Structures are given as structure tokens and as C-alpha cells.
Amino acid sequence: MAINKEMNTLNQDNTNRVQEIRDIGDFQKLRMLWDDLAKKQGAYTPFLCFDWFKLWLDHFLKDNRLLILLLYKGSEIIAIAPFLLLRERFKLITAKKIELIGNVYSPVRNFIFNDLSIEEKKICFSKIFDYLFYDLGDWDVIDLKPFLGDDENLIILHNIIQEKDYQNCKEVYDENWYMNGINHSSDEYFKNKQSSKHMISMIKRRKKLEELGKLEYKVIKSDEDIERYMDYYYEVYGRSWKKKGGIGPTFHRDLGRFAGEKGWLRLGFLFLNHFPIATQFCIVSNKTGYFLKVAYDEKYKEYGVGNIIHYESIKYMIDHDSIESIDLGAGSEDYKKFWVSDKRQMMRVILFNDSFKGILLALFNNRILPTVNKYKSMRKIKEIFSNRLR
């Protein structure tokens, strides 16, 4: 059986075909074509470019399998569906899953399109899902997450799924705090925050911190001397409250290298007497600042160093990079509401195959779980059962 196969879908239309990429070697050959499409994704480019996926696969593919679908129009690739095949628990039940490539380290997971109209994207999604249902078949659930609630691709793909009457579920996955339309200096940005309790507290605690010595903020933008500063990054992380949650041992080091080469890296540090006490890993692309990771030394928690480095990073990117948007990533942490003004939902779309397990999963997810979640006692039983399975 060929690892890399090519099949026509629907009415064997020779102008539209789907090509399957399962082999890492075949994926490697796509660099130039992949990046030609990635460049058209605007601010999302860093997280949809070839090097991002290569980096992710090098670190996290493990025993999972590639299922990258290329959609052609004639001889031209017009869309990429970067999927993984994996076997893991889906809401308590082990299943064969298809997911977009990515994990908690991925700010964006999405399909990659050429410059296409909405109608052309509809055709692409129709081809992709028909291929998965009728040509591939050997899976139980497709779990697509996370999409921003206002993402055009999400709206189109969900409409196609509804039209085709596939068993599916659309649900809120998380939330994203952000701000667009920044067209002024950092002084203007922070002006309306100066009288807030949050800012007043930060200023007071900063002054107390400065009594301990020289406080300095520094940004690393290129890959020059990146190894030394990534050592600092992991040192700070090792002294932070996040150390218990674990971190990929070299993922951010390798991300720092490639983001520095591309000019996207904004790796911020707070130094106290030349000693690193906080760090912020950011990416800047197409006038958008993405905040990927923050950590600080627990010893300096009382001084609010997490807030200080957020302040310095936002100030730097507004004044030096002229960013127009800030994206604080997934999560509902209270501190995000102070730094930016807007919130949007992050959505998840789930499709179920018509296999026995797919039908069972649809019943469990769409009927049984909503009933269980209505009742406190039943939710408690579910939590106990779930914990025992971990």
C-alpha cells in the first residue's frame, strides 16, 4: 500500500483532486509550495508556515501519523489541510481521531488556502470532507480546534457540514482576549489605565522592586546569541510556578532560533542586577503581537513582575514595531482583561463517522453528556470516573 496516494473525489473531476501526504520525507518536499500559501495568511503566517509545522512535528509527532491533504485545481495546490491521525481518549472513550496538527503550544490551528473566494472555499471544504468520509473512512471522530469564533473558515466549514448533514457538534472551546485598531503611541495606549487600581498597584510594587537594585528590560529579536538567552528563559521557567506543568525541553529554544531568523521573535526579559527574573516569549507578524508564554521567578511574585513584563513588552511592540493588534492567546485569566479590551470565543467543531464507534461517540457527546451535565450529582460521578481513567 503506497504511503503517498492520490485520489480523485466526488465525480472524478480532473480539475480538483486530493493528494494524501503521510510520509515525513514527502512533507519535506513541500517547503516552497507550502510557504507560498502560508505567506497569504496574514498575521497567522508564523504559525502556518512550513518551518512551524516541521518544528512541531519534530517535537510532538511521536507515534501519531501524518495525514496532510493537498487540494489541487489542475496542477496548482489551492489548499492544505494539515491533519494528524491519532488514537487517544475522546471524552472518556478511546477513539481513532483526526485533528489539525498542533497542541497547547499552537496559537493557531487552521486550513491553509490560496487567495480564494467564499464560494471557492466552500468547494474546497466539500472536497476535503467528502474525501475523509468516503475515501478515507477509517476513523471515528474529527476534532477541529480551536477556531476563533469570527474566523471565516470556521463559518464556511460549519455551513458545509450542516448542508451535508454530517453528525456533528459545535461548542465553545476557550476564549481569547485581544485588541485591534491600535494606531497610537504606548503612552496613549496606557493613558486611560493610569488611574486604575491595577496600574497603581503595579507602579507601587515596581518601585519596591527597584529598591533592590537595577531593573532592566531587554528584547532579543534575532537568532544572534539566542542560545545564551534561551538558557535564561529556561532558568526563569524552572524557578516559576509553571515548572510543575512541564515544558517541552527544547521546543521554545528551537522556536526562538527559527523565529529569530525570520525576524518575528520578541523574547523579552526583566533583569534585576543583571539576573533574569521574568521572561515573555512573543511573536510579531503583520502588525500583530502574539503573547505565547510568560514566566517569572516565584521569589519575586510579590513585586508583580508578571505585570511589569507585560507592560514593557506591550510598550516595546507598540513603539518599536508599530503593532496594531495584540493577541494574548487562549485563556480567561483575569490579568488579560486589564491589558486588552476585547474578548471572543474560541470554537471547536466535532464530526462523527457513521462507524459503530462514531455513532456511539455521537450519542455519548450529543445526548448523554449534556444530560449528565445538567445534574450536579451526575457531574460528580463523571469527574470521579474521568479521574480514575487518567
Cell of 252: 521554545
CA torsion through residues 58, 327, 30, 128, sign: positive
Cell numbers for 35, please give them: 510557504
Q: Which has the closest alpha carbon to 67: 41, 39, 96, 47? A: 96
Residue type, 216: E
Please list, in sequence order, all residues whose beta carbon lies within 8 angstroms of the beta carbon of residue 191, skipping any fewer than 6 positions away. none
Q: What is the residue-averaged pLDDT of the chain?
A: 89
* pLDDT attached to residue 195: 83
Cα gap 312→310, rounded to integer Å: 6
Give the Cα separation of 10 and 1 in Å (integer). 22
Q: Which residues of the chain have pLDDT under 50?
A: 1-14, 381-382, 384-385, 388-390
SS3 11: coil
- pLDDT at position 87, please? 94
Full set of structural domains in the chain with CATH:
6-176+345-389 (3.40.630.30), 182-323 (3.40.630.30)
Residue located via cell numbers 479590551: 341
Please, is 288 exposed, middle or buried when counting C-beta atoms within 10 Å of its C-beta (0-12, 13-18, 19+)? buried
Give the per-residue pLDDT at 243: 57
Asked if 169 and 366 touch (Cβ cutoff 8 Å), the reply is yes
Q: Is the preceding omega at residue 249 within 30 degrees of 0, hence cis?
A: no
pTM for this entry: 0.88
pLDDT for 371 equals: 77
CA angle at residue 108 from 154 to 145, to 5 degrees?
A: 50
